[in-house]
Amino acid sequence: MLQKNLHRNSIKSYIILSLVFLLAGVFIAIIGHWTLSVNRDSLQRVYSFRLFSRGNFQVIAANLKSMTSLSNAITNKNTQLLEEGYIHLESAYGFLISIDSELYLQGTKSTFSEQFNTYEELLAQYTKIMDAPFTEHSEALSYQLQRQVKALNQFLGYAESEFWKQRAEDFENIRLRNKIIEKIYWTLVLSFIIGTFILIYFFIERVKIEKIIEQQRVEMVANSRLAALGNFSAGVAHEINNPLTVILWRAKSLKKSLKEVLSLNSKVETDLDSIMVNTSRIEKIIKSIKTLSKNAESDQKEKVSIASLRDQLNDILSPKIATESFDFKFTSNCLEESLYVREVQIIQVLINLINNSVEAIKTLDEKWVRVSVIKNDNTIEISVTDSGKGIPKKIQPHLFSLFFTTKSQSKENSGIGLPLSHQIIKDHHGSLTYNAKSENTQFLISIPIIQEIQEV
């Protein structure tokens, strides 16, 4: 239930963070679009500034050329110069129309259209001069025309100065706006980076918490099973030990009494020895049950020899070997070597792996289990191999997952054996892995020989 609530809360957190990032992305997109629009407008204004300035000078220059040609034509009575003056004035009018149209297309307000009527009047007046050139009346008209064009040029010059004054204000507004955009941009970038770190932090913490919860679930289920089994086995062991002690004591006493009274019959002596041997065997079995049902998590680590592990395995497995009819062998090249471990936990891991092997091979014609212990540099390598032909690849990634089992999930097959064994070996600074390269089903345990240094 706790894991479900935690999972639900983590999903909500991720949804909220995703929405925040989505809104941030939308906001950044809006700001980006606005920035592009502002920059585009700025470029258009700059273009219009250049266009206006260049066109305005061309109009003024054309006006001056027109008046120069008109003055020279009147002075020299030159018809060709008179016509050139008209062409220049007409060109100035054309420039003015073009500039006004371009500024309108660029979205810039222009007052040039107000001068269109003025130019039409000037061109009409110039036409009158051309109709009757070099007369007193035409000379008077030409002087009047020159004064009007001069006034027009003064107006155009003043208009340009006002235009640039307005553009200077526009430039300042653009500069301030770009400064605001820059602050917003860097704020968004910083927020996005912080959000990314928060998201990564939440993800890492979630993985850590899930690992802790999974480990706690393994320990909780295992502890509950071990506690129940421990209580049961303790009661059974107590009830069996009392009469068993009496039987063993009576058998020893009977053997001693018969020896003193009369010579023992060989068969009687053999029977008495058999009673004592089997009684001792029952004691070992009870001791093994206590070992397997004990929660040894709080036990102190101590030195345990490989030979001791072998003897305990043989004692615990002897009844199972007889009932399940499988061949069991324990081999080692380092029986006198010792490990610094919690003895009960290591026995529990080995018995769990062997039980899994026995369960897996019970339908095979050839049934055997091999436990091999070898020394490799500063580690002890323990392999548990059975006559099976391996575990399917699709199952291998889930072998150490909590509650995963290929068997029916009953009390005997709860799917916690391998995860618990894996955690126990990990607590001993070792590793428990499945060897996919082996021809037969094989699990490998690696434990450092000396762990006292690691514990400090």
What are the boundaries of each domain within the chain? 2-204, 297-455
pLDDT at 341 over 60: yes
- CA pair distance 257, 262, nearest whole angstrom: 8
Q: Does residue 115 or residue 82 have the better pLDDT?
A: 82
Of 45-54, 125-134, 183-192, 419-428, which gets the smallest average pLDDT? 45-54
Name the band, by pLDDT with cuts 50, 70 and 90, for residue 368. Answer: very high
Helix/strand/coil for 137? helix
Name the band, by pLDDT with cuts 50, 70 and 90, for residue 373. Answer: very high
Name the band, by pLDDT with cuts 50, 70 and 90, for residue 1. Answer: very low
Would you state the pLDDT for residue 266?
65
Mean pLDDT, rounded, for 168-181: 73
Closest CA to 125 of 139, 104, 107, 110: 139
Would you state the pLDDT for residue 331?
92
End-to-end CA distance of the chain: 37
Name the band, by pLDDT with cuts 50, 70 and 90, for residue 443. Answer: very high
Render pLDDT for 74-98 as a digit per residue (tens, 0 to 9).
888 888 888 898 898 888 888 888 8
Q: b vs e for 299-317, b when ≥16 Cβ sit within 10 Å of the residue's Cβ?
A: eebeebebbebbebbeebb
Of 73-82, 138-147, 202-211, 381-390, which gets the smallest average pLDDT? 202-211
DSSP 35-76: HHHHHHHHHHHHHHHHHHHHHHHHHHHHHHHHHHHHHHHHHH
Would you state the pLDDT for residue 15?
72
Highest mean pLDDT among 96-105, 175-184, 346-355, 366-375: 366-375
Burial-class residue 259 by CB neighbours within 10 Å (0-12, 13-18, 19+): exposed
Please name the amino acid found at residue 7.
Answer: H
Would you state the pLDDT for residue 288?
53
The CATH class, in words, for 297-455 is alpha beta
CB atoms within 10 A of CB 347: 22
| C-alpha dihedral sign at 106, 108, 109, 112 | negative
Q: Does residue 372 or residue 403 have the better pLDDT?
A: 372
Helix/strand/coil for 364? coil
Name the band, by pLDDT with cuts 50, 70 and 90, for residue 409. Answer: very low
Would you state the pLDDT for residue 382?
93
Would you state the pLDDT for residue 452?
47
Q: Does residue 300 or residue 428 have the better pLDDT?
A: 428
Name the band, by pLDDT with cuts 50, 70 and 90, for residue 172. Answer: confident
Closest CA to 110 of 119, 101, 120, 123: 101
Length of the chain, please? Answer: 456
Render pLDDT for 30-67 as a digit per residue (tens, 0 to 9).
766 666 666 566 655 555 566 666 777 788 888 888 88
Would you state the pLDDT for residue 337?
87
Name the band, by pLDDT with cuts 50, 70 and 90, for residue 456. Answer: very low
> Which pair of structure tokens corresponds to residue 211?
């690992």
